[in-house]
Structure 1
Amino acid sequence: MNIAFFSTQKYEQPFFEQSITGQGSVSITYLEQSLNQNTAILAKDFDAICVFVNDTVDDAVIKQLASFGIKTILLRCAGFNNVDLPAAKANSMNVLRVPAYSPEAVAEHCIALMLTLSRKTHKAYNRVREDNFDLNGLLGFNLHSKTVGIIGCGKIGLALCNILNGFGANVLVCDPYAQPGNYTITDLDSLLTKSDIISLHCPLTDQTHHLINDEAFNKMKPGVMLINTSRGALLNSKACINALKTKKLGYLGLDVYEQESELFFKNHSDEINQDDIFSRLVSFKNVLVTGHQGFFTQEALTEIANTTIQNALEVCESKPLTNEVL
């Protein structure tokens, strides 16, 4: 199987090269370009494609891929909201993903965002570098005894629950499939109303698109902290800006952004940012943004590479597809 890898970064390649060592049936061509209607032609003469979170795999792209004879779409991520599944099914394509590369990696990044915001360590770092040791303006708060609401309790949500229990937090969970555990299962309205900190861990679907909007913010406590390491479009960015301006939202930690495909994973330091909403978000002093790096650990990249190659080999060898989405 010759696979065209779209949106590849240099940091990924050693992990995939290690994973295909000795696997003569799989070869990889790394492409920096993201997949879309204009770049789909690059997949011609390949047997399969492999895409990441911000690649566009819509109906038009799938029809192009099908015309090249491609029957396999490999996702080197857990989410598949960027793939038009009905179009893939209509063209008899296999779609496989990496369902759980390292739940702890993302959960620990959530904690990093929470602690950085709550203790203002990013501001303290900059002060000390300028020989400013003044503590005024750096007052924080404990995670201990705070009520933390987790929306979506899959593997990442569960990993976060376990960490928060170690801090002595009171954990609320909203998830229709949640099983009893070391947390309190509740409905969305109660979670929004009672939580001091809210962390999003649900998939992006038609039902969860802009789940956090003006109505949701109106139900939250004044000064609430919101963390999103899941999918950018769970959050209505304009509603978020309004909540920051009125101080309803006291802290915001983002590792994802609704329009991140035009920004993240690239160096734009020599350019003028054309995204006015993003520029407004990062202008608030109580907002912390990282560029979709929650997954970015050695352990997670190893698991992503191994599972992606395992998925490819199962297709090659006509084995049952362990991680099949479609």
Structure 2
Amino acid sequence: MSKTKILFYDIKNYDKDFFKKYGNGYDFDMTFLKVKLSEETASLTKGFEIVCAFANDTIDKATINIMAENGVKLLAMRCAGFNNISLADIKNRFKVVRVPAYSPHSIAEYTMGLILSLNRKIHKAYARTREGNFSIDGFIGYDLYQKTVGIIGAGKIAQILIKILKGFGTKVIAYDPYPNYKVAEELGFEFVDLDTLYKEANIISLNCPLTPETKYMINRRSIEKMKPGVMIVNTGRGALIDSADLVEGLKEKKIGAAGLDVYEEEEDYFFEDKSTQVIEDDILGRLLSFHNVLITSHQAYFTEEAVEAITKTTLQNIQDFLDGKELINEVSQK
């Protein structure tokens, strides 16, 4: 009996290492490609019933039609988000599965790292001392103790972040359209409306999913409601923030600092080495120019535990499909 052939797109060396390590227990023949899945590369799916893709692949109508024509039966996303998939165009010609959760601790801990680095200018101090400059001018921060942190989206990641923040003695307020008051009481934080959160928070962390309701929720109007010098940290989805309005808020000094692990147009840049090229995205280039902006390349999830969980769940999703089992991580196409 021949092995099941799986085609992996947008594979980095660390992806390959983990899938080879944990794929040994499966009867799979895995082919790894560095190129992203798109209309231009979808023809490579011919001969593969199972395709594995990632968050920055372009899975639009044209790509989907080629995949379906080539006989693809399962698209296994090795990520939680699926905003890059035009689900309405699949029309149940193949199934889609994902990895709904891996390590909420990794993202919560990284968010705290961004807050500390921005506040105390650790990233700037590292660069300065590497050049033999030991001046601390311009590096003054503030105690997190008794400061107010506003959390938008109070799910698993946020709840771990809140526990960490409480260890610093901060006051935590949160907004969530479906507030869990029992959890709030247990963890010692308060649910408030968005306007109150914007008004009172010294630091705002975005930990919510991207939906039609949350897209560009951080914009000129919401920024105007915030405290002068507010810090905004986004480890959720790039399009939660209107990047052009963020630039204006930084220029006007309404926003004191911004930590971004995600960016709306990140698919052309994040996870890639662009060090020898000109950054053609004017807004990204402008954000990179601010001394009080810290941008990282969508790495908040990137721990050994998280990548292991992503790998194992992806492999099990594929095996469950082959075995005809219920796909507990299937993405609805309705």
Q: Identify the TM-score tier after normalising by the shorter chain.
A: over 0.9
Unaligned runs of 5+ in 1: none
* Residue in structure 2 matched with residue 287 of structure 1 by the alignment: 293
Runs of 4+ with >6 A deviation: none
* Residue in structure 2 matched with residue 318 of structure 1 by the alignment: 324
* Residue in structure 1 matched with residue 208 of structure 2 by the alignment: 202
Conservation of the 8 A alpha-carbon contact between 1:81 and 1:205: no
Match of 2:68 among 66, 69, 72: 66
Structure 2: how far apart are the matches of 1:134 and 1:238? 33
Structure 2: how far apart are the matches of 1:146 and 1:79? 32
Residues 1:107 and 2:113 aligned together = no
Mapping of residues 141-180 of structure 1, within 5 Å: 141-180=142-181
> Aligned to 2:30, what secondary structure does the other structure show?
strand
Amino acid in structure 2 at the alignment position of 1:274: E
Amino acid in structure 2 at the alignment position of 1:91: N
Amino acid in structure 2 at the alignment position of 1:286: N
Amino acid in structure 2 at the alignment position of 1:250: G
Unaligned runs of 5+ in 2: none
Amino acid in structure 2 at the alignment position of 1:110: T
Structure 2: how far apart are the matches of 1:177 and 1:83? 26
Structure 2: how far apart are the matches of 1:230 and 1:2? 33
When residues 126 and 110 of structure 1 are mapped into structure 2, their CA distance, relative to the original with a 3 A threshold, is same
Q: 1:109-167: CA deviations, max 9, x gaps?
A: 11111000000111211222233322221111122211111111222112211211111
* Residue in structure 2 matched with residue 278 of structure 1 by the alignment: 284
Residues 1:251 and 2:252 aligned together = no
* Residue in structure 1 matched with residue 9 of structure 2 by the alignment: 6
TM-score (norm 1): 0.96
> Aligned to 1:27, what secondary structure does the other structure show?
strand
Structure 2: how far apart are the matches of 1:206 and 1:2? 37
Amino acid in structure 1 at the alignment position of 2:158: G
> Aligned to 1:79, what secondary structure does the other structure show?
coil
1:27 CA displacement: 2.6
Conservation of the 8 A alpha-carbon contact between 1:15 and 1:305: yes
Mapping of residues 81-120 of structure 1, within 5 Å: 81-88=83-90, 90-120=91-121
Structure 2: how far apart are the matches of 1:191 and 1:65? 45
Amino acid in structure 2 at the alignment position of 1:7: D
Structure 2: how far apart are the matches of 1:141 and 1:83? 42
Mapping of residues 179-218 of structure 1, within 5 Å: 179-180=180-181, 181=183, 182=187, 183-218=189-224
Structure 2: how far apart are the matches of 1:178 and 1:313? 36
Amino acid in structure 2 at the alignment position of 1:168: G
> Aligned to 2:270, what secondary structure does the other structure show?
coil
Match of 1:237 among 217, 240, 243: 243
Match of 2:24 among 8, 21, 24: 21
Structure 2: how far apart are the matches of 1:153 and 1:5? 33
Match of 1:297 among 292, 297, 303: 303
Amino acid in structure 1 at the alignment position of 2:5: N
Q: 1:200-238: CA deviations, max 9, x gaps?
A: 111112222111111110111100000011111111110
Structure 2: how far apart are the matches of 1:236 and 1:189? 18
- The alignment covers a number of residue pairs equal to 324
Amino acid in structure 1 at the alignment position of 2:106: A
Q: What root-mean-square deviation, in Å, do the aligned CA atoms of Structure 1 and Structure 2 show?
A: 1.2
Structure 1: how far apart are the matches of 2:314 and 2:44? 20
TM-score (norm 2): 0.94
Structure 2: how far apart are the matches of 1:53 and 1:16? 17
* Residue in structure 1 matched with residue 230 of structure 2 by the alignment: 224
> Aligned to 1:243, what secondary structure does the other structure show?
helix
Match of 1:309 among 304, 307, 315: 315
Structure 2: how far apart are the matches of 1:238 and 1:266? 23
